């Protein structure tokens, strides 16, 4: 599965683990966050459908760009609460960029 030298395999393995942990963090965030982010997720789905249909959508990009800052704040708050409760989450907060 992993070709190359020991160093390449080690780095590739670490990157795979990092990606998996980030995906799990996002899944936990989206599962446990209050309904404040649901309008944003609905707009993202609408934007995705418009892009699949090959439609232009500059207004939707402007709206979502503004909401990204708020979503990032929600995510940082979630991470801080998680790290306060779990030593393992504190470790991942230091280990992951």
pLDDT 10s digits, 33-49 = 666 666 777 777 777 77
Q: What is the pTM of this model?
A: 0.58
pLDDT for 75-95, tens place per residue?
888 888 888 888 877 877 776
Q: What is the pLDDT of residues 2-29, one digit of tens each?
A: 566 888 888 888 889 888 888 888 888 8
More confident of the two residues 1 and 68: 68
pLDDT at residue number 70: 78
For the chain, give every domain's residue range. 6-95
Q: What is the helix, strand, coil percentage profile of the chain, to 5?
A: 85, 0, 15
Please, what is the end-to-end C-alpha distance for the chain in angstroms?
Answer: 26
């Amino acid at each position: 599965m992993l070709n190359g030298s020991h160093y390449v395999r080690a780095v590739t393995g670490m990157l795979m683990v990092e990606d998996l942990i980030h995906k799990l963090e996002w899944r936990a965030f989206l599962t446990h966050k209050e309904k404040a982010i649901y309008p944003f997720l609905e707009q993202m789905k609408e934007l995705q459908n418009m892009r699949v249909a090959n439609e232009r959508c500059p207004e939707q990009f402007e709206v979502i760009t503004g909401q990204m800052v708020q979503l990032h704040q929600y995510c940082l708050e979630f991470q801080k609460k998680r790290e306060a409760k779990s030593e393992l989450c504190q470790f991942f907060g230091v280990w992951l960029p």
